[in-house]
Structure 1
Amino acid sequence: MPDMINEKQVREVAALARLELTDEEVSRFATQLSDILAYIEKLGELDTEAVEPLAHSLPVKNVFRADEPGQTLDRDQALKNAPDSDGEHFCVPKVLE
């Protein structure tokens, strides 16, 4: 069985993620994460030699629509609700020097 996740480790990860957890949450997450690791270890015991790897669990093919041109907005319509424009383009604040 893998090492148990302890409360100190949960607190360290929570601090890295900038999460504020209560003592009850820390305790619950330590138990839940330990259970997840135990389950993953149990899955690792399965013999998968004869199992073909797959990318998707369902027999799904390309489900994307065809890339065909469609109706577009004219420039005036596209710029109508823009907070700022120069009549031809959207104007946005400069973010890079």
Structure 2
Amino acid sequence: MSLDLDAVRRVANLARLHLEPGEDQRLQAELNGILGWIEQLQEVDTTSVEPLAGAGDMTLPMRDDAVTDGGMAAAVLANAPDRGPDAAGSFFAVPKVVE
């Protein structure tokens, strides 16, 4: 399957892409290349390959739900450009966004 220029322009219009003059031909070549790869993949014989149902059958190891901040609040806050008017506080000062 290959796309003609009209189909490429329609896809670009549906995707709300602005194409510069001549860019539609480059996009046509790229899309046709992608479709060529898909056609190649469809030719591969997968009859002896078990379908992959996903990782849902696997059980992931659980870990304890524990705080692991490392107790380094002072070191982390040392990277802040502005620690607020109270430098002893353990918070970041951020600019006001709601007026």
Q: Give the TM-score band, short-chain normalised.
A: 0.5 to 0.7
Identity score, percent: 36
The structure with the largest alpha-carbon Rg is 2
Total equivalences in the alignment? 77
Equivalent position of 1:81 in the other structure = 94
Aligned residues: CA RMSD: 3.4
Unaligned runs of 5+ in 2: 74-88
1:77 is displaced (CA, Å) by 3.5
> Relative to 1, partners in 2 of residues 1:30 and 1:82: Cα closer, same or farther, differing over 3 Å?
same
Query: 1: CA distance between counterparts of 2:64 and 2:34?
Result: 41
> Relative to 1, partners in 2 of residues 1:66 and 1:83: Cα closer, same or farther, differing over 3 Å?
farther
CA distances 1:44-73 after superposition (whole Å, capped 9, x unpaired)? 1211011234458xxxxx6xx864313387
Equivalent position of 1:37 in the other structure = 35
Aligned letter for 1:83? K
Query: 2: CA distance between counterparts of 1:11 and 1:69?
Result: 53
1:8 is displaced (CA, Å) by 1.5
1:34 is displaced (CA, Å) by 1.5
Equivalent position of 1:48 in the other structure = 46
TM-score, normalising length from structure 1?
A: 0.54
TM-score, normalising length from structure 2?
A: 0.53
Aligned letter for 1:34? N
Query: 1: CA distance between counterparts of 2:64 and 2:31?
Result: 43
1:17 is displaced (CA, Å) by 2.3
Aligned letter for 1:29? L
Equivalent position of 1:5 in the other structure = 3
Query: 1: CA distance between counterparts of 2:64 and 2:26?
Result: 48
